[in-house]
Amino acid sequence: MTPPIDTVRQYLHHLHAGDTAGLVGCFEDDGLVHSPFLGTIRARPFFERLAQASSRSVITPIELFTAESGQRVAAWFRYDWTLADGRELTFTCVDVFSFRPGSGRIEQMHIVYDTHPLREQVGDKYAPDPAP
């Protein structure tokens, strides 16, 4: 079993690389993402939508925190994000990862950041394109 903190390091690496398959592979098959923009969604469709909305991501880890139980890890990082339309955003966020006992794959991830400044800059980046 991969230790949870190592899975989180792999996750950050895949996020930086824009590797959707690698990101999904860090999660349990029924893994969930709790997103400020999208609500609760399965990992695969979340990361597919993120890939569609993005052209580049630069992830700069600030700190990793591990719960005493070892079943929860938080990653605080700077996200320099270039959207598919070329707009650039920079913000810090914390992703909180939960693991099932004995598993090295992510069961749930809660994304925590202030969405207000981002919505003011780019609107709802996940909104579907208007019908033709």
Condensed to tens digits (0 to 9), the pLDDT of residues 26-41 reads 999 999 999 988 899 9
pLDDT: which is higher, 29 or 128: 29
Q: pTM of the prediction?
A: 0.85
Q: How does pLDDT run across 80-100, given as a tens digit for each residue?
A: 999 899 988 888 999 999 999
CA distance 26 to 47: 11
What the chain holds in terms of domains, given with CATH numbers, is 4-119 (3.10.450.50)
More confident residue, 116 or 44: 44
| Average of per-residue pLDDT values in the chain | 90
Q: Write down the residue that tokens 């899975």 correspond to.
A: 7
Q: Sheet of 54-66: strands edge to edge?
A: 39-42, 27-35, 106-112, 88-99, 72-83, 54-66
In angstroms, the CA 102 to CA 41 distance is 24
